Structure 1
């Protein structure tokens, strides 16, 4: 009975909490003055931060990522000579360090390494954890820029990147993460600088059990939809996720801030009904995905390898659905161990562009591109001039919209194709091998970070190609939404009339849902048919891979 109520309670709590958090975020990001902010303003500017044009906003973001990336790369490459390295772990190879750097500055947190055996405490605390905050802060900042542009008229300045990033990090992500970290420590998640424990395994062989500041990193890895675990097996490790309560806290933390970003958008644009329409479109995709995953696992009871028996079927399948819907990448079971249909749903959710709530900020601004596309197609079908928030959509906006939607798609399909011909990086055969590779490039291009455990990515080709896919998946979408929003913000807002297509109705929600499904279905159905769909059919015939 408890397990049957678990999912409805989870969804109900998400619906209840998200609007309030979204309104708080909007208040923080649009406030005139916040406590202690003057110290930051004095550090960068002599007075109030100047408002920036789209190109200036993007330039600031580029400089920030470049500086942060160089620092993180040097930390990972030379961690052997840095302090707080009790196990004497050597520095990473350059290609793995580059891949990991790109992974964390793009909010992907793909792990081609095992955290406890290949990273020092210094690298975990001062290298990766700050990027968990900052990369999530960038996502919120870009969404804030887009939101302001929708209510602007005939202007090209929509806020300051540095101020938005500062507010996102220190007034939103940091306090929430601190609160969640306290809750996790209370559940037994380790937060310690204790030396590694020397123990004996079941077979009597000696075993080294690493300790470290895990709770602080786990809190922001979930809150910021990052996903990089302190330990190699992530939240399946009992030191990261020891109890059913810690499991629920982490799983809810994955989704509630991305869901709140929908209401952040609605609050700043003064379009509450429109925000609810977007929210329920996302929620519909999420519920359908979970039902399919749960049904597949319920009817294929033999897939036990790689799953934690201390978690129920609902807890494991809901985590898989949540983490691939929210570009998070953390796991409490190995996704390669699921039935082909369940694994296929996880892949498809990432292929959608991580817009089923998606990452913090990124899910909503990714959905923004599909909203523009839906309005444009609706205008073509009805013979009306396509307008969104009273702003006419032209060829410039549509070109950038299609670029933002299709660029990650190309990375997924081309990266998968080349890797198949290289015939390296995977151990399985047949359609399951295709699924493993397809999952990896979908995860990288969607900035998710999770993986099918059977795919070995720590090779020169794997590190460089997946790193390139992460960059394209992150920055092609950012550049597209900023240019589209900036262009719309520079146009005169026309007064709404009865002839305008309304974006706050059930009909609009159905159209958005349909456009997403059709665009992504046409792009990916052929390759999914050769991978997880074919494997599911063959398993029904008793053929396994």
Structure 2
């Protein structure tokens, strides 16, 4: 089979598998978040943390719970990293010391579901920190995003109510009933595929076929790999992430990993449709995600396979930074999937991509990671864009816009517009300040457009809670550890507060009856409008910066 045919088969089978999982998984998540009965283990958790699972919260109380829980997680993970030298299962000779600045950056990164890593995993973090610290955050940070998405959907469902459900119930159910069981199955599949899972503290010395010796680092890798992908987290046990053969040994484990990082986010539109009582609305949102994803995957793959790069005439230019066991086509699909979601895991070096390939990875994130986006964050992100779309359409026909029976008035559109503006402000301001100051500018190991691309990519990744990077940027200095940490916090929690505030405003409304002037939001026309609004907003916002960085490099 030719490489092109293998690439087509790889992508086609992936699409079919996601389509097959869409309805059953979406329906299952709907039942998880809709049932009133609590299991015995869940009640024990509620009792331990002092929560009444049958009381619901207003949007403000829900937001306070999200912020309080996340703050406690940051403090715990920050402290755990600093004292890991005195804990069991720690590295005896870590090559990178854990400083307060690095611990802060890492704690913020994992709590915000970004998983940006300014350190080498296998030579910095001990096994206990990897499991009890980073691994736990892989679960709960993903569950937070799903909880906020569900609360936002309840805003559309609610009629003259002040409550959106209980954050604590949504958090526990998302963790125990959705993420944990799928992650266990995923880990077993990856172990069967050759992903490492052990508790070896020190490198194991083995003899190679050529008669030489080599040291191999072990650890509880498969269990972390499954949830890092399923929860669109992305932090790798090893510095090379999913390009490392112990994390991603073969082409078929590469397929499994891409499937895991997409499956929940692509199934949540079905959950949304069931919750609002109109599965056609879920189909429309899924179609928007699918169209944007096809564009992203297609253009990035074309940019890589067509060798349109800085050195397009060089032999093997597009294979620079690509694992040969995976190949260019499959690596391009992984890169598109990880930047279209908020995963950030990588199976190849994005910094080595062709100029237009790197451009598309950035654009995928700058869309707001809504195709399908992170678990939860992708759904509420695309619903915000749907709200903006119906507002724009309403202006065109001169009537008050409505979406799912809710009027989009001044308050609602201000909250939606503010949500959209947060990420671009953080990205562009952070990039501008970093390249203007001599200290941060010295961290750019490349000059000219590619150096600017590295900084722009870093802030795009941080503000979108993605976590992938152009590795040419030395981001382990004080400036970038602090600035990127702040970008992650703002990029995660300010949008969450705005989403919950909008949900509260929608839930307080009654139901607006449909009329002849109501825009149908379940038809192809609406799908095209949302796609168009998304692309136009991103183009107007980021085109100048992209023209100075990857576009300038590609046209050089």
| Fold-level similarity (TM above 0.5) | yes
Out of 45, 48, 72, the residue aligned to residue 40 of structure 1 is 45
Corresponding residue for 1:6? 10
| 1:175 match: secondary structure | helix
Corresponding residue for 1:543? none
Corresponding residue for 2:382? 367
- Closer, same or farther in 2 for the Cα pair 1:398/1:117, shift >3 Å? same
Corresponding residue for 1:49? 54
Question: 1-side partners of 2:223 and 2:511: how far apart?
Answer: 45
Matched, 1:79 2:84: yes
Matched, 1:97 2:116: no
Question: 2-side partners of 1:510 and 1:284: how far apart?
Answer: 9
Work out whether residues 80 and 88 of structure 1, in 8 Å CA contact, stay in contact via their aligned partners in 2. Answer: no
| 1:368 match: secondary structure | helix
Report the alpha carbon displacement of residue 305 of structure 1 after superposing the two structures with TM.
2.4
Corresponding residue for 1:397? 412
Matched, 1:271 2:278: yes
- Closer, same or farther in 2 for the Cα pair 1:204/1:453, shift >3 Å? farther
Question: 1-side partners of 2:82 and 2:132: how far apart?
Answer: 14
Deviations along 1:436-494, whole A, 9 cap, x unmatched? 11111100001000001111110100001101111111112111111111101101112
Corresponding residue for 1:339? 354
- Closer, same or farther in 2 for the Cα pair 1:205/1:416, shift >3 Å? farther
| 2:205 match: secondary structure | strand
Question: 1-side partners of 2:133 and 2:52: how far apart?
Answer: 31
Work out whether residues 368 and 481 of structure 1, in 8 Å CA contact, stay in contact via their aligned partners in 2. Answer: no
Matched, 1:413 2:428: yes
Report the alpha carbon displacement of residue 244 of structure 1 after superposing the two structures with TM.
1.5
Work out whether residues 29 and 271 of structure 2, in 8 Å CA contact, stay in contact via their aligned partners in 1. Answer: yes
Aligned residues: 538
Corresponding residue for 2:313? none
Matched, 1:144 2:141: no
RMSD over equivalenced CA pairs, Å: 1.7
Question: 2-side partners of 1:31 and 1:67: how far apart?
Answer: 28
Question: 2-side partners of 1:23 and 1:455: how far apart?
Answer: 43
Structure 2: gaps (5+ residues): 308-315
Deviations along 1:116-173, whole A, 9 cap, x unmatched? 0111111101110000000000011001101111111100112000000000000000
Question: 2-side partners of 1:25 and 1:47: how far apart?
Answer: 22
Work out whether residues 403 and 480 of structure 1, in 8 Å CA contact, stay in contact via their aligned partners in 2. Answer: yes
Structure 1 length-normalised TM: 0.96
Question: 2-side partners of 1:204 and 1:526: how far apart?
Answer: 55
Question: 1-side partners of 2:359 and 2:84: how far apart?
Answer: 38
- Closer, same or farther in 2 for the Cα pair 1:48/1:99, shift >3 Å? closer
Q: Residues 221-300 of structure 1 correspond to what in structure 2 (within 5 A)?
A: 221-300=228-307
Report the alpha carbon displacement of residue 91 of structure 1 after superposing the two structures with TM.
5.3
| 2:472 match: secondary structure | coil
Work out whether residues 82 and 103 of structure 2, in 8 Å CA contact, stay in contact via their aligned partners in 1. Answer: yes
Question: 2-side partners of 1:446 and 1:78: how far apart?
Answer: 30
Work out whether residues 297 and 333 of structure 2, in 8 Å CA contact, stay in contact via their aligned partners in 1. Answer: yes
| Between 398-407 and 45-54, the greater mean CA deviation after superposition | 45-54
| Between 361-370 and 293-302, the greater mean CA deviation after superposition | 293-302
Report the alpha carbon displacement of residue 201 of structure 1 after superposing the two structures with TM.
8.7
Corresponding residue for 1:116? 122
Report the alpha carbon displacement of residue 509 of structure 1 after superposing the two structures with TM.
0.8
Q: Residues 60-209 of structure 1 correspond to what in structure 2 (within 5 A)?
A: 60-89=65-94, 92-194=98-200, 195-199=202-206, 208-209=215-216
Report the alpha carbon displacement of residue 344 of structure 1 after superposing the two structures with TM.
0.3
Report the alpha carbon displacement of residue 209 of structure 1 after superposing the two structures with TM.
2.3
